[in-house]
Amino acid sequence: MMSDYPHQVSVPTRWKDNDVYGHVNNAVHYSLMDTAINEWMISKAGFAPLDAPSIALCVESHCQYKAEVSFPDTIRLGLRIGKLGTSSVRWEIGMYRASDDALIAEGHFVHVFVDRETRRPVPIAEPMRGEMAKLVAG
């Protein structure tokens, strides 16, 4: 349920999100998950994607589809952290149709933070780590 996610954002679907089958294409779900994560990192944790000394690389992603959604539906995304490691984080995302709270999809992304130049893993720096701790699932 949406209340299981401490960070939430609503996103309207777009005309171009529908595919030939009349529903939002699966690639859009992944894009929305990635957008919700990066929006949170930038707005809540102060991440500067263009010049931060470390960057987050996606090493794993998954999405399980539960129901269809179509334009002009609005999707509510919930974000939490399932596991916070030294240099990695497992983001968990729930997607719900805003009109009836139906669960559309559940997914996760695993990011590993690496040095921008060497691409070697580095510890997640403050203040990012402190802000992430607020999203850790209980």
Structurally, how many domains does the chain consist of? Answer: 1
Residues 105 and 33 sit within 8 Å (Cβ to Cβ): no
CATH code: domain of residue 31: 3.10.129.10
Check residue 47 and give its pLDDT.
93
Mapped onto helix, strand or coil, the DSSP state of residue 94 is: strand
User: Nearest CA to 97 among 67, 120, 121, 125?
Assistant: 67
Check residue 1 and give its pLDDT.
82
d(CA 37, CA 29): 13
pTM: 0.92
Check residue 73 and give its pLDDT.
96
Q: 31 to each of 8, 117, 124, how far by Cα in Å?
A: 16, 25, 23
User: Nearest CA to 93 among 49, 135, 126?
Assistant: 135
User: Nearest CA to 108 among 79, 133, 137?
Assistant: 79
Check residue 138 and give its pLDDT.
72
Could you read off the pLDDT tens digit of each residue along the chain, which spans 138 residues?
888 999 999 999 999 999 999 999 999 999 999 999 999 999 999 999 999 999 999 999 999 999 999 999 999 999 999 999 999 999 999 999 999 999 999 999 999 999 999 999 999 999 999 999 999 987
What is the torsion angle, in degrees rounded to the nearest 10, for the CA atoms of residue 127, residue 129, residue 135 and residue 136? -160
Residue 86 structural domain: 2-134
Mapped onto helix, strand or coil, the DSSP state of residue 115 is: strand
